[in-house]
Amino acid sequence: MLRRFVSVPRTLPLRATNVAAVRSHHIVGVHRDTKVNNQKTPFTFSDENKKEIEKILAKYPPQYKKGAIMPLLDLGQHQHGFCSIGVMNEVAKICEVPPMRVYEVASFYTMFQREPIGKCHVGVCTNIACMLHGAEDVFAAAKDFVKNNNADGYYSLEEVECSGACTNAPVAEVNNIYFEDLTSEGIVQVLKDFKQGKAVPGPYAGKRKSCEPEGEKTSLFGEKAFDVRTVTRTDI
The per-residue DSSP string of 52-99 comes to HHHHHHTTS-GGGGGGGHHHHHHHHHHHHSS--HHHHHHHHHHHTS-H
120 is in an annotated binding site: no
pLDDT value at residue 97:
93
pLDDT value at residue 206:
64
Residue 115 lies in a domain: no
Tally of domains in the chain: 2
pLDDT value at residue 14:
38
pLDDT value at residue 227:
65
The neighbour count for residue 236, using CB atoms within 10 Å, is 4
**What's the whole-model pTM score?**
0.66
83 is in an annotated binding site: no
Same domain membership, residue 188 and residue 132 = yes
Angle between helices 69-80 and 47-57 (to 10 degrees): 170
Angle between helices 69-80 and 99-108 (to 10 degrees): 70
In b/e form, how buried is each residue of 145-157, taking b as 16+ CB within 10 angstroms? bbeeebeeeebbb
pLDDT value at residue 4:
40
Same domain membership, residue 135 and residue 99 = no
CA distance 117 to 37: 12
- Structural contact between residues 14 and 26, judged by C-beta atoms closer than 8 angstroms: yes
Q: Could you report the average pLDDT of every consecutive run of 10 residues in the chain (236 residues)?
A: 41 41 52 75 90 93 91 92 90 93 89 85 91 92 91 88 87 88 90 84 69 62 63 66
CA distance 116 to 73: 15
CATH of the domain at 154: 3.40.30.10
Same domain membership, residue 124 and residue 194 = yes
Same domain membership, residue 192 and residue 132 = yes
Same domain membership, residue 127 and residue 82 = no
Same domain membership, residue 197 and residue 130 = yes
The neighbour count for residue 198, using CB atoms within 10 Å, is 8
Domain hosting 58: range is 32-108
pLDDT value at residue 197:
83
Same domain membership, residue 198 and residue 125 = yes
pLDDT value at residue 15:
39
Same domain membership, residue 49 and residue 100 = yes
Same domain membership, residue 124 and residue 102 = no
In b/e form, how buried is each residue of 85-115, taking b as 16+ CB within 10 angstroms? bbbbbbbbebbeeeeeebbebbbeebebbbb
CATH of the domain at 71: 1.10.10.1590
- Structural contact between residues 108 and 61, judged by C-beta atoms closer than 8 angstroms: no
pLDDT value at residue 5:
40
Same domain membership, residue 133 and residue 100 = no
Same domain membership, residue 188 and residue 167 = yes
